[in-house]
Amino acid sequence: MKKISLLIIAVSAIATVDAAEPIAKRPSLERMAHACSGCHGTYGHAIAPTPVLAGISEEGFVKAMREFKAGQRESSIMNRISQAYSDEEIVGMAQFFKKQ
Ligand code: HEC
Protein backbone atom coordinates (compact mmCIF):
# COMPACT_ATOMS: atom_id res chain seq x y z
CA MET A 1 0.00 0.00 0.00
CA LYS A 2 2.83 2.35 0.91
CA LYS A 3 4.48 1.63 -2.43
CA ILE A 4 1.29 2.46 -4.32
CA SER A 5 0.94 5.78 -2.47
CA LEU A 6 4.51 6.67 -3.31
CA LEU A 7 3.87 5.80 -6.93
CA ILE A 8 0.81 8.04 -7.01
CA ILE A 9 2.79 10.91 -5.50
CA ALA A 10 5.59 10.40 -8.02
CA VAL A 11 3.20 10.29 -10.98
CA SER A 12 1.31 13.39 -9.88
CA ALA A 13 4.63 15.22 -9.36
CA ILE A 14 5.56 14.48 -12.96
CA ALA A 15 2.14 15.64 -14.16
CA THR A 16 2.58 18.91 -12.23
CA VAL A 17 5.94 19.55 -13.86
CA ASP A 18 4.45 18.90 -17.31
CA ALA A 19 1.63 21.36 -16.76
CA ALA A 20 3.94 24.09 -15.45
CA GLU A 21 4.20 27.42 -17.28
CA PRO A 22 7.16 27.77 -19.60
CA ILE A 23 10.07 29.47 -17.82
CA ALA A 24 10.40 32.25 -20.38
CA LYS A 25 7.23 33.58 -21.97
CA ARG A 26 7.35 35.12 -25.43
CA PRO A 27 7.82 38.87 -25.13
CA SER A 28 5.25 41.37 -26.44
CA LEU A 29 5.42 42.37 -30.10
CA GLU A 30 6.67 45.84 -29.18
CA ARG A 31 9.47 44.35 -27.12
CA MET A 32 10.34 42.01 -30.00
CA ALA A 33 10.49 44.98 -32.33
CA HIS A 34 12.92 46.75 -29.99
CA ALA A 35 15.35 43.87 -30.57
CA CYS A 36 15.75 45.29 -34.10
CA SER A 37 16.65 48.79 -32.96
CA GLY A 38 20.41 48.22 -32.73
CA CYS A 39 20.57 48.15 -36.54
CA HIS A 40 17.21 49.53 -37.73
CA GLY A 41 17.06 52.44 -35.26
CA THR A 42 14.66 53.25 -32.42
CA TYR A 43 11.12 52.36 -33.55
CA GLY A 44 12.62 51.49 -36.95
CA HIS A 45 13.94 54.99 -37.70
CA ALA A 46 17.36 53.94 -38.98
CA ILE A 47 20.03 56.54 -39.54
CA ALA A 48 22.64 54.08 -40.79
CA PRO A 49 22.61 52.44 -44.23
CA THR A 50 20.39 49.75 -42.68
CA PRO A 51 16.86 49.87 -44.15
CA VAL A 52 14.30 52.07 -42.35
CA LEU A 53 11.48 49.92 -40.99
CA ALA A 54 9.31 52.78 -39.68
CA GLY A 55 6.32 53.20 -41.99
CA ILE A 56 7.22 50.13 -44.08
CA SER A 57 4.24 48.52 -45.81
CA GLU A 58 2.87 45.48 -44.04
CA GLU A 59 3.16 43.44 -47.26
CA GLY A 60 6.75 44.50 -47.89
CA PHE A 61 7.82 43.68 -44.35
CA VAL A 62 6.11 40.28 -44.30
CA LYS A 63 7.48 39.38 -47.77
CA ALA A 64 11.04 40.35 -46.78
CA MET A 65 10.90 38.44 -43.47
CA ARG A 66 9.44 35.31 -45.10
CA GLU A 67 12.08 35.41 -47.84
CA PHE A 68 14.87 35.87 -45.28
CA LYS A 69 13.46 33.01 -43.21
CA ALA A 70 13.18 30.68 -46.22
CA GLY A 71 16.65 31.65 -47.46
CA GLN A 72 15.17 33.03 -50.71
CA ARG A 73 16.68 36.44 -49.98
CA GLU A 74 20.28 36.45 -48.82
CA SER A 75 21.45 38.38 -45.82
CA SER A 76 23.72 36.64 -43.34
CA ILE A 77 22.21 38.69 -40.50
CA MET A 78 18.52 38.68 -41.42
CA ASN A 79 18.55 35.02 -42.49
CA ARG A 80 19.45 34.14 -38.90
CA ILE A 81 17.29 36.72 -37.10
CA SER A 82 14.15 35.87 -39.06
CA GLN A 83 14.33 32.23 -37.89
CA ALA A 84 13.34 33.32 -34.39
CA TYR A 85 9.84 34.54 -35.30
CA SER A 86 6.59 32.74 -36.12
CA ASP A 87 4.36 33.87 -38.99
CA GLU A 88 1.96 35.52 -36.52
CA GLU A 89 4.82 37.39 -34.86
CA ILE A 90 6.09 38.61 -38.24
CA VAL A 91 2.63 39.93 -39.13
CA GLY A 92 2.35 41.54 -35.68
CA MET A 93 5.73 43.26 -36.04
CA ALA A 94 4.76 44.40 -39.55
CA GLN A 95 1.72 46.14 -38.06
CA PHE A 96 3.90 47.66 -35.34
CA PHE A 97 6.50 49.10 -37.75
CA LYS A 98 3.84 50.32 -40.22
CA LYS A 99 2.51 52.65 -37.50
CA GLN A 100 5.88 54.13 -36.48
C1 HEC B 1 22.69 43.16 -36.69
C2 HEC B 1 21.89 44.12 -37.45
C3 HEC B 1 20.43 43.83 -37.70
C4 HEC B 1 19.48 43.52 -36.78
C5 HEC B 1 19.63 43.33 -35.27
C6 HEC B 1 18.22 43.42 -37.51
N7 HEC B 1 18.41 43.66 -38.83
FE8 HEC B 1 17.00 43.67 -40.30
N9 HEC B 1 18.39 44.13 -41.68
C10 HEC B 1 19.75 44.30 -41.43
C11 HEC B 1 20.44 44.55 -42.68
C12 HEC B 1 21.92 44.78 -42.84
C13 HEC B 1 19.46 44.53 -43.70
C14 HEC B 1 19.66 44.69 -45.18
C15 HEC B 1 19.76 43.29 -45.77
C16 HEC B 1 19.84 43.29 -47.27
O17 HEC B 1 18.92 43.79 -47.92
O18 HEC B 1 20.80 42.69 -47.76
C19 HEC B 1 18.18 44.28 -43.02
C20 HEC B 1 16.98 44.20 -43.69
C21 HEC B 1 15.76 44.00 -43.08
C22 HEC B 1 14.47 44.03 -43.75
C23 HEC B 1 14.23 44.27 -45.23
C24 HEC B 1 13.87 45.74 -45.39
C25 HEC B 1 13.64 46.14 -46.82
O26 HEC B 1 13.10 47.23 -47.03
O27 HEC B 1 14.00 45.40 -47.75
C28 HEC B 1 13.53 43.77 -42.82
C29 HEC B 1 12.02 43.68 -43.02
C30 HEC B 1 14.22 43.61 -41.56
N31 HEC B 1 15.57 43.77 -41.74
C32 HEC B 1 13.58 43.36 -40.37
C33 HEC B 1 14.23 43.20 -39.15
C34 HEC B 1 13.56 42.89 -37.92
C35 HEC B 1 12.08 42.69 -37.77
C36 HEC B 1 14.53 42.82 -36.96
C37 HEC B 1 14.35 42.48 -35.49
C38 HEC B 1 13.58 41.31 -35.19
C39 HEC B 1 15.79 43.08 -37.59
N40 HEC B 1 15.58 43.31 -38.92
C41 HEC B 1 17.01 43.11 -36.92
C42 HEC B 1 20.37 44.26 -40.19
C43 HEC B 1 19.76 43.93 -39.00
pLDDT at 25: 85
Contacts of residue 68, Cβ cutoff 8 Å, sequence gap at least 6: 75, 78, 79, 81, 82
Q: What residue spans define the domains of the chain?
A: 26-98
Is residue 61 lining ligand 1, measured as CB closer than 6 Å? yes
Architecture of domain 26-98: Orthogonal Bundle (1.10)
**Distance (Å, whole) CA 50 – CA 9:** 57
The pTM (predicted TM-score) of the whole model is: 0.81
**Contact assessment for residue 44 and residue 33, using Cβ atoms and an 8 Å cutoff:** yes
Atom 15 of ligand 1 has which residue's CA nearest to it?
Answer: 75
- Is the pLDDT assigned to residue 5 strictly greater than 80? no
Atom of ligand 1 nearest to the CA of 49: 12
Question: What is the distance in A from the centroid of ligand 1 to the CA of 74?
Answer: 11
Atom 38 of ligand 1 has which residue's CA nearest to it?
Answer: 36
Residue from 37, 57, 77 to probe ligand 1 pocket by mutation (most atoms less than 8 Å from CB): 77
Per residue in 49-64, pLDDT (tens digit) is: 999 999 999 999 999 9
Per residue in 23-50, pLDDT (tens digit) is: 778 899 999 999 999 999 999 999 979 9
